[in-house]
Structure 1
C-alpha cells in the first residue's frame, strides 16, 4: 500500500467529466505530461489499470486504453507478471549526447555535385503504373465517390465570388480550420489555423522548406535508408546531405550528431519510417528534440500515411511533443483520399511562417479554391473520418491477403511480417537473393516491386522488396504473387551464382 500511495502523491489527476475530451485521453495526456516533466521518473511502476480506475472513479476501460496508448508510443513498458513501468531509457529533457563510443562512426556527406542529372535519375512515369505491387495506390469506394460528386456539384452551383479572384496563399480559412481540428484530434498536433499552409502535397512542402532553410549552412540529415525523392530534392537545392543510419528504434540521433552536429535540419518519418516501417522510439524522439533546441535546428516531420494504423489508435505526432517550436509538420490528403486531389498541408512554426507563406506565394500564388471548398465540406460534414475508417478496414484486408500469399508461396525465399501501419510492407530476401534482379525479372512478369537496397546511401544495404498493398484488390493479389514466384524461380535458375555474391540479410 505504501508504494501505491507514494505513486498517487506524485501526480494528481484532474478528471473533467462531461468534457468533449474522452476520459481515456484525459488520462493519457496527463500521464504523458507527468512522464515528460519527470514528475514520473523512468523506471517508476504504475498502478494496475484496476487500481487506477478505482482511485479515480472511472471505468477500467478508460485506464486500459490510456495505458495501451502510452505503451504503443514508447512511454511505458510492460514486464510480464510484474506490471507497467515508465520506460527506463527515456533521456533527460535536454540531455547531452553521449560521446563515448568504442568505434567511430564514419561520416558520409553527399553534395550537389554528386547529383545525377534529374532527367536521368527520376522516372516520372513510375507512379502512374497501376500494376501490383506499386506504391501509393488508393481506393475510393462507391460511398465516397457519390459524396464527392454531390459536394463538387454543390460547390459549382454556388460559385461564390471568392472563387473568381485571388485568395490567401495559405489556403482558405474553412479548409485550414478543418485540417487543424483533424490534426489536433487524430495526431495530437499543436497548432492554430493560422499555422496551416495548404500545399499540393508533401513534395511541394519539402521543396518550400528547402528554399527557406537558414543560410548559416546547408547541412541536413536524412534517414538511411530513406525516401529517395526527398534526398534528391535536397541535393538539387545545393544542400549537403548526411545519411544517418536507421535501426529498430528509428534514426540514430547519436550517429547524426557524430556526422554533422551543426546541421540546420533533419528530415524524418517518425511514425512509420520509409521504407523500414519502424516507429521512432520515445527515447530517440526526446533526444532529437533536445538536439534541435540546442543547435537551433529544424525537424521536418513527414507524417505520410499516418491515417492508416491497423493495431490500436494512431500514434501521437513528434510535433505534439515539441515545446520549442522546432518541428515542421507535413502531411497529405493525396494518400488519405486519392493522388489526383493534389492537396497536402504543412504546420509551420511561427518563426518560419512568414517566409514559408512568401515562398508558397512566389511558387504558384495559391491553391485552387474550388478543390479546397470540396475538401473542406467533406471534412466538416464528417465524411473524411468515415472514409478513413472504411479504407483502414480495406487496406488491412489487402495487407493480410498479401502477407498470407507471400508466406504460402514464397516462404523459402522471403521473410515478411504484417506492418502495423502504412500502405506498404517489406519482404526481406533469403539465401542471398538480389532484390534488384527480382525487380527486373518481376517487371517481365507484370509485377512491380521496389528493391530496398537502392534506398541506402552509406549504411550496409539489405536485400528486400518494398511492396505496396493498398489500392490493389484482393482478387489481383494472389495471381500477382504467383507471377512473382515464377519470376523468382526464373531468377534462381538463370543466376545461381548470385546467391554466393550477395550477403545474407
Structure 2
C-alpha cells in the first residue's frame, strides 16, 4: 500500500548566482541531498516549478531542469493533476544520513572483507618503494635500481621494430605461458648463471615477481592452509598468501637464513614456504648450505612446496653468483621466481616462474582465469634484448656501479657513525642492513630522517615479532656515491637532534 501524500513544505534553499556550477545543478543537488538524508520525506508534495522559481528568484527553466533530472533518476514522481512528490525510494532507511555516510575519510575496514583489511597492514611500506616526484633525494631507497643507466635507445629501437613488423601477427590471444622465444632465452640464461634446471616449457611469464607469487598462492593453497614465511620477510609475499586465504607461520631468520628447525617446531605440516635464499629480504644474509639442505629435506618429507624468490641475486659482487636452491632440488619441490624489474626497470613488470612439470596444467589454467596472458610487445622486445647481448652487457655494467655504491655507503656510514652501527656487508643485491644499538628506536630514527628528506625503512616494519635490537635498511642502487655520502651526513645531522 502506498503512503499517504504528505503536505507540501516551503523549501529553505539558497542558490549562489556567482558559483561556477550552474543554478539548475545547484538546485538538483540540494533537493537530492535533502531526499537522501530524509529531510524531504517520501510522499512530500513539492512546489510547482512556477512557484519554486518565484520563491528562489530564478527562471522557470532552472527549476524545470532540476525537476527533470530528479524525475529521470527516480527521486521524485509527477502525475497530471496530482503534482510533484518525493518518490518512495527502495531501502529508504539505508540512505539516512544519521546511519551511513560516504565520507572518504571513513576507515575502509567498514566495507572490506577480512582479507582486504589484512592487506592494508601488509602494504604499509608500499609508498617506500613507489617513485614519487616530490622526493628530495634518491639516497637509501630500497628495491629501486638505477633506471637512468638503462639503455633506453636500444630498448626503443626494439620496441619500435616489433610495433612496425610483429604486432599484427600476434594480435590475437596468445599462449598463457608467454612468448616462446623469451622463455627459451630465460631458460638458457638462468641455466648458466643461476644453475636452474629447466626447459622453456616449465616457464610461465608473469607480471613481475609479485604476479608470480600471487599465481602460485592461488593455485596451490586453499583457505586456511598453512604457509611458512620468513620473519622478517617480504611483505609482498605475505600479501599474496593472505589473498589466497592462507594462515601465515612466521619463521625466524638468523645469519644463516630461515631457521628450518624452528619452522618444524612451529608448524611441521605447512603446505609451502616462501624464502629468499640468495639474498634474504630484508636482512641481506645468504642461506647457508646446511640450511638449504635442511629446507629441501623438510619439503621432501612433508610434500610441501618451496617458493624460491630470487629477486636480485644477479647482482653479486664477489665471485660467481651462488646457484639457486632449485638446482639442488632432486624431489621437484622448488618453484623458482625471477624478475626483470630489479635488473632492467620496475615499470616493465615482467617476471617468471619455473615450475615442476606436474604443476603446469593447474597453474596455466589459473593464469587463464586471472588475465589470460601478459601484453606481448614488451616480451618481443625483451627476447631480442637478451638474444642480442644487451642484457648481459647491462648486468655487467650495473654490477660495477652497484659495487662502487655499496662500498661508498659502507665507508660513509663507518666514518660518520663508527661502531654505533653494526653494518652487515652484503655480497649481493641493492641494499644493506645496519643494526642500531640496543634500546635505540628505529622508528624515531626514521621519523627524524624523514624530516630531513631521507627515506629509510626500519627493519622491524617487515617483521612479525618485536626486535630487542632494531635496524635500518639502506638502499644504495638508485643513488650516486656522492648522493649516498651526502645522505649519510644528513642522517648524522638528523640523529644529532634526537
Structure-1-length-normalised TM-score = 0.72
1:217/1:263 contact within 8 Å kept: no
The aligned residue for residue 304 of structure 2 is 297
Residue aligned with 1:188, SS: coil
Residue pair 1:176, 1:196 contacting (<8 A) in 2 also? yes
Residue deviations 1:372-423 (CA, integer Å, cap 9, x gap): 0110000011110110000000011111111111111122532214311110
Which residue of structure 2 lines up, in the alignment, with residue 402 of structure 1? 409
CA apart distance, 1:475: 2.5
Distance in 2, matches of 1:268 and 1:313, equals 21
> What is the distance in 2 between the residues matched to 1:163 and 1:369?
8
The whole-number CA distance in structure 1 between the counterparts of 2:429 and 2:347 is 19
Out of 164, 167, 170, the residue aligned to residue 163 of structure 1 is 170
* Aligned twin of 1:122: 123
Distance change in 2, residues 1:325/1:459 (3 Å): farther
Q: CA deviation at 1:140?
A: 4.2
Q: Deviations over 1:351-376 (max 9, x none)?
A: 21111111112111111111001100
Q: Secondary structure at the match of 2:151?
A: helix
Question: For 1:91-110, what aligned pairs fall within 5 Å after superposition?
Answer: none
Structure 1 115/341 Cα, relative in aligned 2: closer, same or farther at 3 Å? closer
Rounded to whole Å, the distance in 1 between the matches of 2:170 and 2:408 is 44
C-alpha distance in structure 1 between counterparts of 2:255 and 2:354, whole Å:
28
- Say whether residues 1:205 and 2:212 are aligned partners: yes
SS at match of 2:335: strand
8 Å contact kept, 2:304–2:333: yes
1: distance between equivalents of 2:312 and 2:383?
19
Distance 1:216 1:116 in 2: 16
What is the CA deviation profile of residues 295-338 of structure 1, one whole-angstrom value per residue up to 9, with x for unaligned ones? 11100000010100001100000000111110000010010100
Given the superposition, is the C-alpha separation of residues 120 and 285 from structure 1 closer, same or farther in structure 2, using an over 3 Å criterion? closer
Q: Output the CA distance in 1 between the equivalents of 2:475 and 2:331.
A: 36
What residue in structure 1 maps to residue 193 of structure 2?
186
Distance 2:319 2:379 in 1: 31
Paired residue secondary structure (2:155): helix
Decide which of 447, 462, 473 is 1:466's aligned counterpart: 473
Match of 1:316 in 2: 323
- Distance of 1:264 and 1:403 partners within structure 2: 40
The whole-number CA distance in structure 2 between the counterparts of 1:142 and 1:271 is 24
CA distance in 2, matches of 1:431, 1:248: 18
Secondary structure, aligned partner of 1:137: coil
State the match for 1:333 in structure 2: 340
Contact 1:452 1:462 in 2 (8 A): no
Structure 1 residue 142, shift from structure 2 partner: 5.8
- Structure 1 unaligned blocks of 5 or more: 1-111, 492-505
Q: Which whole-Å CA distance do the structure 2 matches of 1:432 and 1:225 have between them? A: 19
Deviating more after overlay: 207-216 vs 468-477: 207-216
1:434 aligns with 2:437: no
Contact 2:437 2:469 in 1 (8 A): no
1:119–1:290 distance in 2 versus 1, CA, 3 Å: closer
Q: Deviations over 1:2-29 (max 9, x none)?
A: xxxxxxxxxxxxxxxxxxxxxxxxxxxx
Partners of 2:202 and 2:356 within 8 A in 1: yes
Matches within 5 A, 1:149-160: 149-160=156-167
Q: Secondary structure at the match of 2:353?
A: strand
Separation in structure 2 between the aligned mates of residue 417 and residue 257 of structure 1, nearest angstrom: 27
SS in 2 for 1:266: strand
Residue by residue over 1:216-258, the C-alpha shift from the partner in whole angstroms, topping out at 9 and shown as x without a partner, is 9600101111112211332233211111111121111111111
- Indicate the SS of the match to 1:378: helix
Counterpart-to-counterpart distance in 2, 1:207 and 1:162: 30
Does the 8 A contact of 2:438 with 2:468 survive in 1? no
Q: Does the aligned pair in 1 maintain the 2:215–2:366 contact within 8 Å?
A: yes
> How far 1:452 moved relative to its partner?
0.3
Q: Distance in 2 between matches of 1:415 and 1:239?
A: 35
Match of 1:447 in 2: 454
Counterpart-to-counterpart distance in 2, 1:421 and 1:176: 25
- State the aligned residue count: 380
Instruction: State the Cα deviation string for residues 50-83 of structure 1 (Å, max 9, x = none).
Output: xxxxxxxxxxxxxxxxxxxxxxxxxxxxxxxxxx
Kindly state the Cα deviation for residue 214 of structure 1 after the two structures are TM-superposed. 4.6
Q: How does 1:335-350 map to 2 (within 5 A)?
A: 335-350=342-357
Verify the 8 A CA contact 1:217 1:264 in the aligned structure 2: no
**Contact 2:456-2:473 at 8 Å conserved across structures:** yes
Unaligned runs of 5+ residues in structure 2 are 1-112
